[in-house]
Chains A and B, each alone.
Chain A
Amino acid sequence: MATAFLLGPSEWRQAGARPTPMDVRRELKAILEARNHRVLLMEDLEDAFGEDLVDKFERILDASGIDYVVVYWPKGAKMQTTYDELLLLRKRMDSKVVPPVWILHHDDVLKVDGGEFKLLETGERSRYLEAAARLGAHANPWKTPEQLREFVRRLAAEL
């Protein structure tokens, strides 16, 4: 049984639409758990006394026996915290072993053209891509919710 740390946004940039990214992450968690993977979401774990989000992130990675990290990256979500988590993973590489990272990205946020990754979302995001590159993350595209679910089923078999 492998243990996954499932990262990703909780809300859309324009609130209201259902399912929310958090709902989707819970669904992905259920898919992995049905295949005997243990899955951790930051939001489900209690804060320890006096710790902030960075401490909590580090504590989970240190103490939970994480075998791989999955980053859910949809289109149109509030991604800042997830981007920051990618940077924290990258920083962690300087002193510790970082588990393999798998990025599940919508086809419209990231693409590979002629062998080169290109970010399609607006704003200066290249440093996050640099972090992903330093992490040696795997990135596969999905377009529909069903494709995403199928991707996660196959990922469960892969790991």
Chain B
Amino acid sequence: MIPFDRRGKHLRVLMAFRRHGPLRFNQIQEKTQLRPTEVNRILHELTSSFLLTAKVVPGTGKHAFAEYHLTKAGSAHLKAFDVYADSLRHQARAVGERTLRALESLYA
């Protein structure tokens, strides 16, 4: 399962991959506007859950960096969330405007 937190930060990160493809740490930070410590924690959780995978890429000298990729499992979770999101949109009155705004901000 995606380790969701109250503000949907894990989803925001996963959706950035669907939109942009493979990303490095700084790019994820830039696309999601999350703090570095949060990005670090979320990436560790998402790679531990195999929703993302970290590809080892060479840096300068002996440094090696991570380029993150969405896995099939990650894509499947996002597709499942899309179904859930559509269901919420179809029940807009019951769900309430605030929830819908939060939902749409994930897709913005």
* A84 to B25 CA separation, bound complex (whole angstroms): 29
Is A52 an interface position by the 8 A CB rule?
no
A-B interface pairs (CB < 8 A), number: 85
Partner of B58, one of A133, A151, A155: A133
Other-chain contact of B64, A114, A129, A151, A155 (Cβ < 8 Å): A129
| A139 at the binding interface (Cβ < 8 Å) | yes
Q: Smallest distance from the beta carbon of A99 to chain B beta carbons, Å? A: 14
Q: Mark A125-159, 1 if CB is under 8 A from B, else 0.
A: 01101101111111111110001001100110110
With both beta carbons as reference points, the residue of chain A lying nearest to B58 in the complex is identified as A133
Once the chains are docked, how many angstroms separate the CA of A157 from the CA of B66?
22
- Asked if A112 CB lies within 8 Å of chain B CBs, one says yes
**Which A residues are within 8 Å of any B CB, using their own CB?**
103, 107, 111-117, 126-127, 129-130, 132-143, 147, 150-151, 154-155, 157-158
Quick check: A112 and B50 within 8 Å, CB to CB?
no
Smallest beta-carbon distance A72→chain B, Å: 15
Contacts A116-B59, A127-B62 aside, 5 further interface pairs with beta carbons under 8 A come to A112-B66, A116-B25, A126-B62, A139-B55, A158-B72
- Minimum CB distance partner of B62 in chain A: A126
Residues of A within 8 A of B50 (CB): 140, 150-151, 154-155, 158
Contacts of B54 in A (CB 8 A): 112, 117, 138-140
Q: Provide the bound-state CA to CA distance between A107 and B47, in Å.
A: 11
